[in-house]
Amino acid sequence: MGTIKFVCYQMTGKGTFILSLATCLLLMAGASAQTARSDYDFYVLSLTWTGSVCRHTESCPHRKDTSHRFNIHGFWPSQTSFPRRSPQCRSTPLDLEKFPAELRDELDVHWNGLFNATDRFLSHEWSKHGSCWKPYKPQHRTPINQAPRDIRHGPMVRPIPRVNDETLSRQYFEKALEITKSLNVSKMLESQNITPSGKPYEASLLRQAIAKGMKVRHVILICNSAESKSFLKEVRICLGLNYHPIDCPEGFMAQDRCGEKRSIIY
């Protein structure tokens, strides 16, 4: 029986070097681990209710639009296996000045920094979460050898377009705005006669109203306390890779601390 040999090369400015199998395997394992840490299989859209946060629990000195709305806190690629830990992204810088003025204005309204300057907050969100985003990520993890024959071998196979960081970051923020507008949490609550009137509602009623509008079993509510009262702080919605609402992974549900019978002000 013949011997199988593995050869690994490293290109440098001074030439090509043959690496040992052990070194090869270490490099491959490191690359694989890095990919696993930055990969994800669902999204979280986190929306802050300014009606409570800015009025009762914290000030919002950087907000120009004083009407109460669900302001985007984040659009986060997430991992089912580590639901409480963010993937390790590339931390690439964000240059908002290169965004169209119309997009910057829209972000200042719908993704305002609230407690920090908006450009600073968006830079943080892009660096920690957005730079992991893959706009052409497959919606289903089907091995290619199990895919339909026309997809494996036919003209439907197309190379994934390469985009630079400037284009990628702009598309990321545009996608988050698009999703937030299409879901319209305020309208879902209003359809169940839940309005921001300052009166308390059972947390379960808010949760059920939003889940019904999303066509899922549950969503996550985050509450704040002030003046011996509980206020709605955030709504967190889990999305599949196709950007449609899904039930959040079980490990992620621990973030919901509003309870079922707790009365909260919306």
Helix axes of 165-183 and 101-110: crossing angle, nearest 10 degrees: 50
pLDDT attached to residue 21 = 52
Buried (b) or exposed (e) across 165-203, using 16+ Cβ within 10 A?
eeebbbebbebbbebbeebebbebbeeeebebeeeebeb
> Between 119 and 140, whose confidence is greater?
119
Least confident range from 13-17, 103-107, 134-138, 170-174: namely 13-17
pLDDT attached to residue 250 = 86
Q: Which residues neighbour 213 within 8 Å (Cβ) at sequence distance 6 or greater?
A: 183, 185, 187, 188, 191
- Sorting pLDDT into bands at 50, 70 and 90, what band is 57? low
pLDDT attached to residue 161 = 54
Looking at residues 188-214, what average pLDDT do you find?
Answer: 95
Question: Is pLDDT of 187 > 80?
Answer: yes
Encoded amino acid at 1, one letter: M
Q: Does pTM top 0.85 for this prediction? A: no
